[in-house]
């Protein structure tokens, strides 16, 4: 088991790191240096591969230049690094002197017709594999399941990772290699990487972040009630229970999304939950339903200006405050959902004056509590793609209230 440890980053931070490396690699190649490769290490189900592809898209790469190779599914090394071929040295006398060239056996005849002569020298080389033939830069090569591949594959691509070339062919300019791996923590069936191998690439450790997942879920129409559950139980995904991951909980949520009344279908929900997430997480989800947390007021209801805000304010206060204590956890869920919902509504025509007034009141009043109204205001100021919100924060008193 490897003793290599480092701090974990989230999906958003991973994107920033990879975009930085892609830009850095351009500069390195301009200086004649070899581009850097990155190994992204993280548990199953965090969305490593889909995030890597998304980075390529966001960098403007052509779809055909975002190449994903699943190393665990390869059977022949030649599919990865190319087929071995025999090459022969040929010479040709010209006015400027004798020129030489290495030619594979398929092309010998055509070169002989052009006046080239075969010598006695030969060598073994490799043809460029199908997945890179004809491609130009920039591009992204994703080597998925790197540590799940057999040693013959990981050894074969060491030169490719280190120098972006393999014997007789090389990647085009401005390509970046990114590896995707599961951690060597005794849970996953992976091949240990020795220090010599790990020194050939940068290592980035990816971890679970409930807020990042909730934002993704909001944009991908995951059941709203289930997003509430994850935000209220943000430690539901733990390294010691790898079978409960972002992928498995999303599958479970999709399986129950057609159930309109959770409380009236607990037996079915429990059956589906125990079959995918286990008894502990399912019991937590059932308790969540029994406490009616799945029916919290939604962001769309909060910003529905056809409803009197007095009613909305009362609905919020009814669930986040009691005679005994302030429910900061529920207020946090409502605030986070509100931020993600506002981010989702990217069309500026959604933000008429009535909606902006309601957002301003949420920031300047104490409906959500002092700390969370600050969080709401601060995060909304970072949504630069929404000009209407920028205008909102230009209003005298709103920014001052956030900073107070």
pLDDT digits (tens, 9 = 90+) for 202-232: 999 999 999 999 999 998 889 999 999 999 9
Domains and CATH numbers, the chain: 8-76+131-206 (3.40.50.300), 84-126 (no CATH), 211-403 (no CATH)
Instruction: Decide if pLDDT at 120 tops 60.
Output: yes
**Which among 180, 226, 215 has a CA at the least distance from the CA of 69?**
180
Instruction: Decide if pLDDT at 19 tops 70.
Output: yes
Kindly state the percentage of the chain with pLDDT values over 70.
Answer: 92
Residue whose token pair is 């104490």: 366
Distances (CA, A) of 104 to 84, 118, 126, 160, 345: 10, 11, 10, 22, 58
Q: Are 118 and 108 in contact (CB under 8 A)?
A: yes
The model's confidence at residue 3, banded by pLDDT at 50, 70 and 90, is very low
Report the DSSP pairing between strands 202-206 and 175-181: unpaired
Instruction: Decide if pLDDT at 402 tops 60.
Output: no
Q: 3-state DSSP call for residue 189?
A: coil
Q: Are 72 and 191 in contact (CB under 8 A)?
A: no
pLDDT per residue over 225-267, tens digit each?
999 999 999 888 887 777 888 889 999 999 999 999 999 999 9
Q: Are 25 and 176 in contact (CB under 8 A)?
A: yes
How high is the mean pLDDT of the chain?
87
**Complete DSSP assignment for 286-336:** HHHHHTTGGGPPPHHHHT-TTS-HHHHHHHHHHHHB-SS-B-HHHHHHHHH
Q: How many Cβ atoms are within 10 Å of 12's Cβ, its own excluded?
A: 14
Q: How far apart are CA 143 and CA 336, in angstroms?
A: 35
The model's confidence at residue 400, banded by pLDDT at 50, 70 and 90, is low
Region 102-106 average pLDDT: 88
Q: How far apart are CA 133 and CA 113, in angstroms?
A: 26
Q: How far apart are CA 392 and CA 356, in angstroms?
A: 7
Q: Point out the least confidently predicted range of 38-47, 66-75, 372-381, 392-401.
A: 392-401
Instruction: Decide if pLDDT at 11 tops 90.
Output: yes
Q: Point out the least confidently predicted range of 173-177, 182-186, 252-256.
A: 182-186
Any alpha helices (H) in 321-384, and if so which ranges?
328-344, 353-364, 370-380
Q: Point out the least confidently predicted range of 3-7, 277-281, 369-373.
A: 3-7
């Amino acid at each position: 088991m490897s003793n290599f440890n480092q701090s974990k980053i989230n999906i958003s931070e991973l994107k920033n790191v990879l975009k930085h490396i892609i830009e850095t690699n351009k500069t390195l190649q301009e200086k004649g240096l070899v581009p850097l490769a990155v190994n992204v290490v993280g548990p199953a189900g965090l969305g490593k591969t889909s995030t890597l592809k998304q980075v390529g898209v966001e960098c403007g790469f052509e779809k055909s230049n975002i190449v994903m190779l699943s190393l665990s599914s390869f059977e022949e090394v030649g599919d990865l690094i190319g087929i071995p071929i025999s090459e022969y040295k040929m010479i040709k006398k010209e006015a400027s002197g004798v020129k030489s060239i290495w030619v594979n056996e398929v092309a010998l005849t055509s070169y002989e017709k052009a006046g080239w002569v075969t010598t006695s020298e030969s060598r073994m080389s490799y043809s460029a594999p199908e997945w890179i033939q004809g491609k130009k830069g920039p591009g992204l090569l994703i080597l998925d399941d790197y540590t799940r591949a057999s040693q013959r594959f990981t050894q074969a691509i060491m030169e490719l990772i280190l120098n972006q070339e393999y014997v007789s062919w090389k990647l085009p300019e401005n390509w970046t290699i990114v590896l995707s791996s599961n951690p060597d923590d005794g849970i996953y069936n992976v091949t240990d990487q020795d220090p010599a191998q790990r020194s050939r690439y940068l290592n980035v450790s990816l971890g679970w972040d409930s807020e990042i997942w909730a934002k993704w879920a909001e944009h991908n129409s995951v059941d709203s009630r289930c997003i509430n559950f994850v935000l209220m139980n943000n430690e539901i995904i733990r390294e010691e229970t790898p079978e409960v991951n972002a992928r498995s909980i999303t599958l479970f949520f999709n399986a129950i999304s057609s159930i309109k009344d959770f409380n009236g279908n607990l037996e079915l929900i429990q059956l589906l939950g125990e079959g995918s997430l286990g008894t502990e997480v399912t019991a937590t989800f059932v308790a969540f339903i029994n406490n009616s947390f799945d029916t919290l007021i939604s962001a769309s209801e909060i910003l529905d200006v056809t409803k009197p805000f007095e009613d909305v304010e009362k609905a919020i206060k009814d669930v986040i405050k009691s005679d005994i204590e302030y429910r900061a956890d529920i207020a946090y869920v409502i605030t986070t959902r509100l931020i993600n919902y506002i981010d989702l509504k990217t069309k500026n025509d959604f933000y008429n004056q009535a909606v902006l007034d309601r957002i301003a009141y949420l920031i300047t009043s104490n409906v959500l509590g002092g700390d969370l109204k600050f969080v709401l205001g601060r995060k909304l100021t970072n949504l630069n793609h929404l000009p209407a919100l920028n205008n909102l924060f230009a209003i005298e008193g709103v920014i001052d209230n956030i900073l107070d």
